[in-house]
Each structure stands twice: as C-alpha cells, then as structure tokens.
Structure 1
Amino acid sequence: MHSQGGDNSRSRGRFLLFPSRYVRFGNPQISICKELDGRERGFSDEGMRYITSELARELSSCAPEIDLVEVIFASDAMFYIVLDNEADLTNVRSRLPGVIANCVAGYCLEKNFDRPDWRNWRERETPACVPIRRGPVFGMISGTRTPISMPSVSACTTSGILVKDTKEQHFLTVAAHCIGRGDPTAYFSLSTGQMQPIGRAVAQVPFTDVALVDLKRTDFHQQLFLNTGHALPVRRLLGENPNDQLDWNHMVRFRSPAANDLDGVIVAKSARPKINPFNIDEPFQCVVYHWAFTGQVEDAGDDDMAPRPAVGTSGAAVVNNKGICVGLFDHFISQGPWAGFSVILSASELVKAGYRLASGDVLDTWAKVPASLR
C-alpha cells in the first residue's frame, strides 16, 4: 500500500499507509539476497540483520559515496532504503539494487522522516573507547553528553522491564536520552508527589536508547497494564526463543500508565547498520526495530486523545497479548509522510547483549533530563 501524501497534504489525511512520493526505485536488473523471499511474510530479526549486512556490502561496492542509514521492510512486501541526506538519488539510483529478497526496493532520504531532535545527536555518539566483546557499555549514558551545558530538570519517562545478566545481576531499563547530565539517578514518583531514588544508570546497550539502572534495595514483579480484570505477567523477551518471529498485523500494547491503553499494529521492521570498532568479535552490527501504526494523526493536533504515545512513554515496554515483550518504545514520527508510526527497539537486541527477562514491577520512573531533550 502506498500513498502520495506529501507534507502539505497531511492535514487532509492519508489515502494509503506507506508513502511513495519521495521514494526512488532502484535498478530492477540488480538483485541481491535472491535466496530469500519476502513476498509471503516478513523476516525474522536475524533475517533483517543479514539483509542489511548484504545491502551495506553491495552499496560499498556500487555506490561507496553514499551512506546507508536504515533498511525498512514493510508489510506491502517492499523495501524502503533510507540514505543519508547528502545522497543524490537522481544520479545514483541506476547503480542501486532494485530487487532485494525478491521484493521491490525503493530509496529515500533521512530528512523525509520526522525524528526527535535527541535522536540526531545520540546517533553520533561513539560506543566506547575501550575494547569490548559483547554486552553493554558500562559507564556511558547518552544523556550525559548533551550538545550544550544547561541545568537539569525532572522529566518523566516510563521504565521498561527488569532484566538480568548471566551473573544474575538485575537492571531496570529506561530511555537513555532521559538520563540527566552529571546525575544518572532514577526516581520513583510516590503518591505524595515526592521522588524516591531507586538506583543509578550504570550502563547503556550500544547504539540504542536503552540505559540500565542498577536497582538498590527495591523489589519488583512484572505485570501488564491491561484492562482485563487480572494481571497478565510478562513471560519473556522476544528472541529468548530462537524461533521467535513477529508477523505482520500483530497487535501490541504500549505498557505505560502514560499511554492510555494505546494499541498498535506491527506493519514494518527495520535495521540500522552500525560500525563498532571496539567490538572485537562483531565490528559490524545491525540494530533491529519494529514499526507499529497506531492510527491516523492528521488533523489531531495536540489533542490528548490522538492515537500517539503520550509524553512520558519513552522507554516503555511494548507487549503482545501472550505476555511477550516485543521491544521498548524508541520514538514516534509525528508529522510528514511517515506520521503515525511508532518505532520500537526489538527486545532481541537485549537478548543479543546477554540479557533475559527477570521478575520485576513496572514503575513510573523519573530521571533528570535537560529541558531541551524532553
């Protein structure tokens, strides 16, 4: 499904789900990943990592002057390849693969996506200046490196899930960009309005917006915010079972008190290639995201009832009705041709980093964050 919807037509609503106005198709005579076929169903997270790696290798050969930003595979069986804004699509498109895994491939620029400001500078951070083999980067939190120095203020973010590493150490996941400069302390908002410290952010999963809070003397248990009359436990993370795959039209819920029982439908998946020169075992990495559509936001303005994640949903767990955490909410695209999509970091990224689900409660967590990044 495609829509011509340009920026100046968004107030009139969308005709179809996926925009095509800014998409330029590649050369249909150039095909890669022929052994795969995405025309019947989507790919697993590992499948997306493989395709992205193969495309990055192909582009480095046929068009080394362009930078690959993201590979999106949508439920319309089409690849949307996002390139750096400096790419000249008119001149380069004849050299680009037009068929990937037996599906049509189109190319667009990063500027066609309305990303949050905090995501732009966070993406430029280096993973760590120490050699690491796997797992998180300890002692580096994105929010401690703001573009300019400014006082910190309290801003709300939803805690994600409680995870444990191979040493049975427990950590609470939160949005890394909400960790304040100089004071990586997370607080629980009490009913009295006071904020109780629950721990400090001590690590970050590389190339993600996930910070890990080391909890101090706090007991938790996992439960879902569902209006079902009973608490449905979170059973595991997507990816803990090697056969896990999130199919198209899969219903998910944003697990946050701030999300107002918001549901979404999985309609796309993407992978962002990253180079980690300090990872000895795996220098080239692909970070996988799920894309959920929560409904049209055209003409909604700032209405609180608009079908979008509310302020404070950053870092929230996104789960299905079987209690599987499919990922952590990363950001929402609020305007432009891709408006209405929520981008969710796949839980398999936590599994790859060496974490599993642990028993724990979901808190409405506060962190000190610069005002310009809220």
Structure 2
Amino acid sequence: MPKANETVLEINLGNLAHNYRYLRSKLDEDVKFLSVVKAFAYGNDSVVIAKKLEELGTDYFAVAYVSEGIQLRENGITTPILVLHPQMGNFEEIIEHCLEPNLYSEKILINFIETAEAKNQKNYPVHIKLNTGLNRLGFDANEISKVYDLIENTNSLKVRSIFSHLAASEDWEEREFTIGQIDLFRKMSWELIEKLGYQPLLHICNTSGIINYPQAAFSMVRSGIGLYGYGNDENVDPKLKPIGSLKTVISQIHKLEKGESVGYNRKYKVPKTSRIATLPIGHADGINRIYGNEKAGVFIHDQYAPIVGNVCMDILMVNVTEIDCEEGDEVVIFGGSQHPVKFAEAGGTISYELITGIQHRVKRIVIPE
C-alpha cells in the first residue's frame, strides 16, 4: 500500500465486508438487515459505503435527513431508504425520490398523509416510530389508537415497519431497563398490528442489540457503528475491523532548546532539547483541541509521538525527539498502530464523535475488498 503524502482517510471495503458478514452471522436467515449510512456513512463516504453494502446484500438503508437520501438516489442506490428524522418541508422531495419517512408524531403523520393524498399516492411505504424510553422521537403507548385512526382513514400510505430505539443496549448495568424497552415495544407494536390487520417489519436492535439481545431481533435489525468496526464492547471490538485509517505526513521538524514554546498561547514548553514535528491536520479537519497538550498522540514508524501545544485549525505539532524520522514521513492518527477507540478515549470522547467529525476536505482513498 502506498504511503500517504498528504492528509487522507483510507476506507477499507474489505473490513466493511468483514463487519457486515460478522453481524449477519448473529441473525437468523429470515431477519432483514438495515445498514445505517447517515452522517456521510459515519464520517467515511456514504455513496461508496452504500454501493458496497448494496453489493453485499443489505435489505435497507437508513439516513438521518432527506438530503442524505437524495444523494444516494442520485448516485444510483435503489435499495429502500428509511429517513429517520424527516422534516415536513421535505415531504414532497421524499415522494419524488422514493424515500420512506419515519413518522414519529401526530403532526408529522397528519402532514405526510396530506402530502401523499395531494400527490395521489396509494400505499406509500412509511415507518412508525414508537417511544419506549429513549424519549427522543416516537409515539407514546397512549397514542397507538390515534395512530391507527389516522392511518385507517386514508389509502395513501401503508406501514412498512414499526420500530423503536434502545437507549443503553451496550450497558449491562441497564439490562433491566433494556428488557423493559423490548417488552414495551412488543406490546405496543402488536397492539398496532392487530388494528392494522397486516404485519409490517419490526425492528428495535441496534449494533449492541444485535450482539447482546438476539431474542429481540424481530424481523429486522439496524446497524450503524458496528459496520464501521466498533462494537461498544471490549470483547466485541476485536471481532470487528475499523474501516477508516486517518493518516498524514510530517511537513517540518524544528529543533528547540529547553524552555522554548510550541504553538498558540505557549501552552507547551520543551523540558529539554527536543525535535518537534508539524503535521498538516487540525481542528478544521476533525482533530479537535481536546487532543492537544499530550492528551493524545500519533504513531510514526510504529512509535508514539504525543501531540504538544494547542491543536491549531490546520496544523498540530508532535514531539518526535525519540523517533528516527524526517520531513515527508507518514504519520498515523488512527488505524494500524492506534485503534480509533483508544485515540477517542484519550481525548475524553467516543468513537462516534471522532469518526463522524473527519471533515470533507480530508481526501478519501478507497481500498477495495
């Protein structure tokens, strides 16, 4: 594999395929698989990722917003796409691009029915979100009859799935709460199904749900973070492979004498004669100031180099005093020698925030399966 000569995010499609197959192996053959590709496919490249997952046989995609679904459609994705957080102003675009909305409140449901009827739609596929305890989006238990009454009075839509979202499926200390969510979901969804008279898909499991609560797989599961190589569990993480590796290069090396400072506000002063390397990546690329001042570091020739001083907008500095390196050498921010979870934890955050924060100006390089 060629060495990086600029800041790049390498996207390994072989690792993506491995993760997909691993998660699929946890399910019965008749359980459908929904792949979550929102937020630029968790900071990677939504079109590249969706095309590979479509090739692998995913049954559904999910995005957060309508614009993300339109981008996939305009790039040739034909698999059904669930829009998790649609807004009323985008309902005509949803229909125009054959996207499937999550209808999570009375106002949203009424408005979509009005739009669908105005567009002369019949049995348009929609998804009903139930609130079982996460308390973000969804109908509460006392609203099921109201949902049915609205659906019963129109032929413009048909419920494709009923779903909910687990709040703490990775946390064994919250097992009782999670089982309570699953039981409530089962009760609420079956109440609606009995009224509808037909069987939509049911799904509540996210990545950690797939692994920890296989009894709750129902007829479909959703996976986001797991596809990208993270299991939210130190016992599961080794079985998955992070698909992204963030790399850059050394732009310049300075030799500083004891007491000289590095970067803005002179936050770091070298304790002895030192070599400080400057890298072309900063908080505008997604490596935030929280990683500065030796909280985290990078790897050069498989050796650890702590980040020193404040991270700048386009630049950060690392201490390479003990490393035999030169200008132009490759630097690994995460991937390879450094697991992204470890880098994120060093900054007091989580893998989700780290990987989704890699900005679009960072060049993506796709490594085929």
TM-score by length of 1: 0.26
Larger RCO: 1 or 2 (CA < 8 Å, sep 6+): 1
TM-score by length of 2: 0.26
Indicate the structure (1 or 2) with the bigger Cα radius of gyration. 2
Higher-helix-fraction structure? 2
